[in-house]
């Protein structure tokens, strides 16, 4: 699958498909396409369907197959960035709801945090998404993106909602913020997410949950005071 990402902070991925080539996407993600590309809505079995629901995706996904050469585009749902990841037989772990589209050779499954505290308190979710196989997966990022390549044992401390993606060689844990004043008046909540290398970590600059909280406070000023 060849692709071009356009649109700056309001991005879309335009994918060029050859005859017989296909692409999977989240339900409702298609924005425009050429004639000759056909859609099939698929579940893939009860287990995979339920796994998608748990990981923040829709029950079904769409499979587009080109009967002749053409283009199909997928637009992001929120201002930000579309990150293409070339798996090449490897795998990544991503926040739930971040999936946009992928090659037919990419398999998506549910990833459960080994440490339950990471799900209940870390803000990244007990259930995340795992992508593996051979091909490209397009990931939606809220805001801009910044990457770190962590060495063995190297760590990054990340506030709730800012983690987008990490290599499956990384591990995730949660630590409580120290100090009563820091907890009560620091505005950072109770916990931080700690990612330990080796592997790549991708961080987003404008988590949608933070934006939603800000908008809610502005629309209901009396409740925030």
The 10s digit of each residue's pLDDT in 42-83 is: 755 555 555 555 545 556 789 999 999 999 999 998 899 999
Whole-number pLDDT of residue 115: 56
pLDDT value at residue 125: 53
The residue with greater pLDDT, 133 or 210, is: 133
Q: Which pLDDT value is given to residue 225? A: 47
Domains of the chain: 2-216 (3.60.160.10)
> Is pLDDT above 60 for 120?
no
Helices (H), the chain: 46-54, 116-120, 180-185, 208-219, 221-224
pTM: 0.81
Q: How confident is the model at residue 181 (pLDDT cuts 50, 70, 90)?
A: very low
For residue 185, the tally of other CB atoms under 10 A from its CB is 9
Residues 6 or more apart in contact with residue 182 via CB below 8 angstroms: 188
Supply the pLDDT for residue 108: 87
On whether the CB atoms of residues 1 and 136 are closer than 8 A, the answer is yes
Report the distance separating Cα 202 and Cα 149, nearest Å: 9
Closest of 137, 126, 129, 147 to residue 203, by C-alpha = 147
Nearest to 74 by CA among 134, 17, 131: 17
165, 130 in Cβ contact below 8 A? no
């Amino acid at each position: 699958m060849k692709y071009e990402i356009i649109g700056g902070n309001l991005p879309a991925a335009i994918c060029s498909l050859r005859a017989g080539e296909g692409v999977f996407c989240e339900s409702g993600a298609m924005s425009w396409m050429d004639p000759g590309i056909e859609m099939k809505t698929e579940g893939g079995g009860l287990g995979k369907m339920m796994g998608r629901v748990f990981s923040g995706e829709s029950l079904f996904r769409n499979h587009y197959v080109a009967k002749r050469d053409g283009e199909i585009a997928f637009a992001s749902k929120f201002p930000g960035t579309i990150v293409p990841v070339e798996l090449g037989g490897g795998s990544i772990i991503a926040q739930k709801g971040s999936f946009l589209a992928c090659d037919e050779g990419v398999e998506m499954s549910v990833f459960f945090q080994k440490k339950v505290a990471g799900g209940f308190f870390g803000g990244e979710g007990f259930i995340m998404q795992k992508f593996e196989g051979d091909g490209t997966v397009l990931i939606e990022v809220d805001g801009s993106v910044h990457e770190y390549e962590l060495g063995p044992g190297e760590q990054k401390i990340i506030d709730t909602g800012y983690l987008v993606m990490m290599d499956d060689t990384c591990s995730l844990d949660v630590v409580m913020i120290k100090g009563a004043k820091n907890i009560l008046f620091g505005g950072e909540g109770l916990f931080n997410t700690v990612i330990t290398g080796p592997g790549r970590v991708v961080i987003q600059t404008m988590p949608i949950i933070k934006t939603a909280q800000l908008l809610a406070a502005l629309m209901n000023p009396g409740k925030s005071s």
